Amino acid sequence: PRLSRRADLGERIKVSFEFFPPKSDEMESRLWETITRLETVSPHYVSVTYGAGGSTRERTARTVGRILAQSSLKPAAHMTCVDATRDEVDAVVREFAEMGVTRFVALRGDPVSGVGEAYRPHPQGYSNGAELVAAIRRIGDFDVSVSAYPEKHPESADFATDIDMLKRKVDNGATRAITQFFFDNDLYERYVERVRRAGIYIPIVPGILPIHNFGAVANFSARCGAHVPAWIAERFAGLERDPQTHALVASAIAAEQVLDLVERGIEEFHFYTMNRADLAFAICHLIGIRPAPEASAAAAA
């Protein structure tokens, strides 16, 4: 049978989920509901983002700490180089390690003044993702993931420059790349071919963004160099005031994308959950990733 219809699909596929640190008590309780629900499908790991300029350092640490203390999940802490000296960054890595964190997602980050501004490294800081990977690996034998851009990073002059940075990150010890979200699987496949031709063999895990709010995704995409195809815009047209249909359409689009990637042989997925469980949980169900029977009984109760 087709790969996406094989009975052992759920056993072969690994998923991870990304969360952002909540800004209020209300958002925190919603995140915790999400985490509790997604924990039932036993993700490979979950990750917690790091805000601009270290502004959310405390909140990232608090969220990671709570995941360690109150769940069975393995959290990865995102880290950036923005507005911090090398010593400050190293101290944060050590703090995470002391908490019990063994996984990091290492990023350059964007200027605090906003995406689109030229990035200027802190004079005593790390200047890009590759330097940060090296720093983290100097501190300990951690699992370090990095970013990859199927449509190239907006600041990269061309794909060769872009992939050269990925190569430097791998040479410095990155073990996995997670892609920026994308909606055109052909672009992803072509990018992975380029990456392999450059002699990079780590997994390039597709980052899947279920579209909870099309308007927000369309605005955000332009800034991070991810292209929203016209056919996606067309599918959401007219649904601005119809959240129920919007959610059904979003789940159909994400399902179509993920099942097509499965057909292309992809067996690892990273979900940008936006701290919401529903779409990610449904897509996991489709690809055979299900709660253990006891867990699903408890969740239903």
Regarding 275 and contact with ligand FAD (CB under 6 A), the answer is no
Catalytic residue among 11, 18, 39, 263: 18
Alpha-carbon span 236 to 116, nearest angstrom: 27
Question: Can residue 110 be called a binding residue for ligand FAD (CB under 6 A)?
Answer: yes
**Stretch 63-82: interaction string toward ligand FAD, x if CB under 6 A:** ---------------x-x--
Number of residues that bind ligand FAD (CB under 6 A): 22
Kindly tell me which of 18 and 39 has the beta carbon lying closer to ligand FAD.
Answer: 18
- How far is residue 284's CA from residue 290's CA, in Å, rounded to a whole number? 7
d(CA 99, CA 249): 40
- List the one residue out of 259, 246, 253, 270 whose CA is nearest residue 38: 270
Closest contact distance (angstroms) between CB of 234 and ligand FAD is: 26
Query: Any contact of residue 147 with ligand FAD (CB under 6 A)?
Result: yes
Residue with Cβ nearer ligand FAD (67 or 165): 165
Q: Verify binding: residue 153, ligand FAD, rule CB under 6 A.
A: yes
Q: Check: CB of residue 121 under 8 Å from CB of residue 127.
A: yes
At 106, the amino acid letter reads A
Distance CA 185, CA 206 (A): 9
Instruction: For residue 18, indicate whether it is catalytic.
Output: yes
**What is the rounded distance in angstroms from the CA atom of residue 206 to the CA atom of residue 78?**
17
- Applying CB under 6 A, among 43, 207, 210, 291 the residue interacting with ligand FAD is 207
Which tokens is 84 given?
């911090």
**Which residue carries 């952002």 as its tokens?**
20
- Is position 210 an interface residue for ligand FAD (rule: CB under 6 A)? no
Minimum distance from residue 202 beta carbon to ligand FAD (Å):
14
- Judge contact between 261 and 182, C-beta under 8 A: no
Taking CB under 6 A as the criterion, the residue among 55, 161, 219, 296 binding ligand FAD is 161
> Closer CB to ligand FAD, residue 39 or residue 162?
162
Residues designated as active site: 18
